[in-house]
Structures are given as C-alpha cells and as structure tokens.
Amino acid sequence: MSTVIARTPDVQTKLPAVGTTIFTVMSALATEKNAVNLGQGFPDFGCDPKLLQAVTDAMAAGHNQYPPMPGILPLREAIATKIATLYGHGYDAQSEITVTAGATQAIITAILAVVRPGDEVIVLEPCYDSYVPNIDLAGGTVVRVPLTPGTFRPDFGKIAAAITPRTRAIIINTPHNPSATVWTEAEMRQLEELLAPTDVLVISDEVYEHMVYTGARHESASRFPGLAARSFIVSSFGKTYHVTGWKVGYVAAPAALTAEFRKVHQFNVFTVNTPMQHALASYMADPAPYLELPAFYQRKRDLFAAGLARTRLKLLPSGGTYFQCVDISEVSDLGESDFCQWLTSEIGVAAIPLSAFYGDGFDQRVVRFCFAKKDETLQTAIERLARL
C-alpha cells in the first residue's frame, strides 16, 4: 500500500495587502504590558439591564428559531419610525429596511451587491479598515481621496476630480472614525449637488449617528432627498446601546437598492440572531437611550480632554464618535506607530496611529484614543498620561 502524503495545496491570497491589523497588535501589547487599552473602539462598561432582560424575555417566549431573512418586522418598523422622526425621511419597513449582522457585514454586503470588476469606488482617507478589502473582494478598483490633513474635512474639488464614468460608489462616514469630524449640512448638500448629474451610489456609514456634541446634529444622508435616493444608510445597535459584541446593525435604502442588497445578504449571513432582534424592537419603543447618548458621551469626552490638557499632547476637535485624536509633535520625535508602541510599553496607555487608516501609511503625527470607557478607566489613563 502506498503512503499518502498529506499536503495543503497552495492558495493564492485574494487580499495580499492584508495582514495582522494594528488593532490586534496594539491590543496584544496592551495585555502584555498591562496597559489601559484606549486603542480599540468598544466600551468597557455594560449596557442597560433592561435590554438584557428583554433578550431573556425573548428567549423565554420562544423566539429562538430563524427570523425572516430581512429581519423581524417589528424591529424594521421601529427603525423606520426612528429615521422618519429624526431625519424626516420615510422608509418602507417591508421593502427598504434590512437588519444586518453588524455594520461591517452591512458595508461588505452593499459593496458586493453593486460593485462589479472594474468599477471604481471612492474612499475618503483616513477610513475604517474594512472598506478597501471589501472593494478588493468585489473586484472593484479603490480610488483614494484624502480628507484635508489637520481638519479632516472633505475636499470636494478632489472628490469631483476623482469621479469618472467608471465610478460606481463613494463611501462616506460621518461622524468620522478615526478623526471624530462631523460633516455639516453645507457639506452634505455639496455632495448632493456634486453627485446629482451622475449615477454614483453612496454607502453612508453612520454608525456613530447618536454621538454628536456641542449641540450639533447628525446630518444623515437620509435627510437629503438627492442623497437618500442613491444611498445605503448603515448604522449599528452595538455602538448605540453599548453591545458591540451582539453584532446587530441595519441598512436603509430605496427599494431597488434594497432588493439587490438582500440578494447578497441572504447568501452571506441569511439573517440575524432572533432574540436580540426582538429585544431591540421592544427596547426601541423608548427613544430616551439614544436621545440621551450625546450628553452621556460628551461628559466622558470632556473628562478625558480636561486630563489631556495637562499634558503636551495637542487635542484635535472631537465633534462626534467616541474618539479623541491628539497631535504628538511636542511630545516625541517618533512616528505614530512607534509612538503608540512606546506609549503602551512605557506609559501604560494604548492608542492607535492614524497612519493605520491610510493606504500609504501617511504619518501626520496624530494618534487616536477611545474614551468609551468607565470614568475610573479614563482617570487611570489620565494619571499615566500626565507623565508626558
């Protein structure tokens, strides 16, 4: 009898530029050094016990089997009601709202639904790290357009110059991760006017929609008829309700776009866990938790900022999200990545370099902290950062 040699065939990677992410590296280093992890964007505190009880109640009521592919209707109706109340746009819960396995799945599903090989997709850098690999997997061509360094505001001259007959979509993100910049009404109208004569679609990443500060308002793409008609609006219950591990989000889009979205959705996740959907549907009956979120996080932002003001770190504006960016120029001559590793190892606080959000690793001496943490966590970080 011949001996069969076990051999794993060679596989050509579909994502040659993707390796271990900076988030994994910094979190591992933070654990090794017992550092306060202000790198990854997730809370270290629990959610409302009422929401947990709603999940328990849903499971006890027998909501444990497959829900409908687009999500249970009560949740889709609650989402439609929220959007109509806050942003003035009416989406049909049956044909225009889809519950997703988090915002990341929503974004790749939208891209796979509409982007074909050779299509161009504009991304505004710095950007969330899933956008580019998603476009690559769809066979699209990534067109990188930088936000204005320092202010991170959109440069519409550069965006206009990037649009070609092959442009299929643009991905926008407000409030913006990582810079914490919030687009204004004037900027959204400028985008609406720019795209009006084109067939360019919009994927609007709005997962931090309820984290906008100092009295400003979130300018959802759904507020603007010319954008709403061509947009996939993406949001996240995980960010809003402090349950990032639940991985539940949603997409709102015109019926024609939703139909294409659901064709992909039904074959990559099919649907989303049932008891969480029922719990969220009942919990959304009270809008207070998301209406009160700006004040909740603004207090944490201000607490953290007051502590950082006692260091040589220069605070950049934080108009939204739960991130605070700082300029490190007066503290160190190190580049962003090396500084973050030094900060974690020697000071005991983990941060993320903004260069990780650029395709070319553009280093402007800025790093990002997450302040979605318990007050005592932030105070510990502030005490350590006071050494800077």
348 with 384: CB under 8 angstroms? yes
Instruction: Go through the chain and tell me how many residues it has.
Output: 388
pLDDT of 40 strictly over 70: yes
281 with 75: CB under 8 angstroms? yes
Q: Give the whole-number percent of the chain exceeding pLDDT 70.
A: 100
pLDDT value for 61 = 98
To the question of domain 49-285 being in CATH 3.40.640.10, the answer is yes
199 with 165: CB under 8 angstroms? no
Which of these, 101, 71, 66, 43, lies nearest to 246 by C-alpha position?
A: 101
Domain boundaries, the chain: 22-41+291-385, 49-285
211 with 323: CB under 8 angstroms? no
Q: Under CATH, what is the fold of the domain 22-41+291-385?
A: Aspartate Aminotransferase, domain 1 (3.90.1150)
pLDDT value for 1 = 65
Question: How high is the mean pLDDT of the chain?
Answer: 96
* Helix/strand/coil for 136: helix
Largest pairwise CA distance in the chain: 78
| pLDDT digit string, tens, across residues 253-292 | 999 999 999 999 999 999 999 999 999 999 999 999 999 9
Q: Give the whole-number percent of the chain exceeding pLDDT 90.
A: 92
| pLDDT digit string, tens, across residues 6-30 | 989 988 999 998 887 888 888 898 8
| pLDDT digit string, tens, across residues 88-131 | 999 999 999 999 999 999 999 999 999 999 999 999 999 999 99
How far is it, in rounded angstroms, from Cα 373 to Cα 44? 5
| pLDDT digit string, tens, across residues 66-94 | 999 999 999 999 999 999 999 999 999 99
Domains 22-41+291-385 and 49-285 share a fold: no
pTM of the shown model? 0.96
58 with 275: CB under 8 angstroms? yes
How far is it, in rounded angstroms, from Cα 257 to Cα 172? 17
| pLDDT digit string, tens, across residues 207-262 | 999 999 999 999 999 999 999 999 999 999 999 999 999 999 999 999 999 999 99
Based on DSSP, count helices (H) and strands (E) in the chain, helices before strands.
15, 13
